[in-house]
Structure 1
């Protein structure tokens, strides 16, 4: 376990996560505000294996964790803490059936606290402007707008947010 909240556990990905990971990553509604790319199962299986292998790299700066529900130990989504140049970027993604239950706010709030404890000084997040739910979460957690742009991957208006810790 990396950290936990009242309802969630953040842990390293395991190979058994691949079916749920594939379900999430192949859902056009989930991927609409990410890269929009839908891959086949074998590609997602390799991706999970590659992400797991990164945990062993000495200077890894690309951490993708599983989010699991405490209630039933179900895989719900992923949390990303990755280096974006000099910035530490937060990102999260949930299976669609877990949307609109406050999990995004809960995981972001806990990730802020975890980041403070591990010495991270600033978090950034990139949100496609149409993703109103994520915009509200970052604004509610006091992230500030620092830049507006067009997303390189999906060509939609996107905003970079920043939070000094």
Structure 2
């Protein structure tokens, strides 16, 4: 386990996560404001294998973990921690069935605590401006706006948020 919150636990991805991972990464609504494109099951199987292999690489700086609901051990999404020592970035995605349940707020608070525990001094998050729910979560966790720009990937207005820990 990497960390836990009241209702969720964050752990390394495992091969048994493939069905949930594929459901997440093949849903155009989940990926609407995120980088990445909808992938096939074989593509997601390969990506999952690559992400799992990264756990053993001491030079890895791109960590994706599974979010599991404690009450039933269900895969509900993923969290990301991209460490580059300049702008350490957090992110999270949830299966559509789990939207609107407060898990985004809960996992963000957990990520902030975890990042403090591992000694990060500052974390950032990027949100496409029309994704008001994600922007609200960052603002409610004391993230501050540091930059507004047009995203290169999806050509939408985006905001960079920052939190000093």
Do the aligned partners of 1:90 and 1:123 also contact (CA within 8 Å) in 2? yes
Cα displacement (A) at 1:59: 1.6
Equivalent pairs, count: 165
Take 2:129 and 2:114, find their aligned partners in 1: how far apart are those partners? Answer: 26
Take 1:22 and 1:143, find their aligned partners in 2: how far apart are those partners? Answer: 30
Output the TM-score relative to the length of structure 1. 0.98
Take 1:123 and 1:43, find their aligned partners in 2: how far apart are those partners? Answer: 30
Do the aligned partners of 1:55 and 1:63 also contact (CA within 8 Å) in 2? yes
Where structure 1 has 5 or more consecutive residues not aligned to the other structure, the ranges are none
Matched, 1:153 2:156: no
Look up the match of 1:38.
38
The list of structure 1 runs, each at least 4 consecutive aligned residues, that deviate by more than 2 angstroms after superposition, is none
Look up the match of 1:93.
93
Output the TM-score relative to the length of structure 2. 0.98
Cα displacement (A) at 1:111: 0.7
Look up the match of 1:57.
57
Cα displacement (A) at 1:83: 2.5
Matched, 1:132 2:132: yes
Where structure 2 has 5 or more consecutive residues not aligned to the other structure, the ranges are none
Give the secondary structure class of the aligned counterpart of 2:9: strand
Take 1:35 and 1:142, find their aligned partners in 2: how far apart are those partners? Answer: 24
Look up the match of 1:113.
113
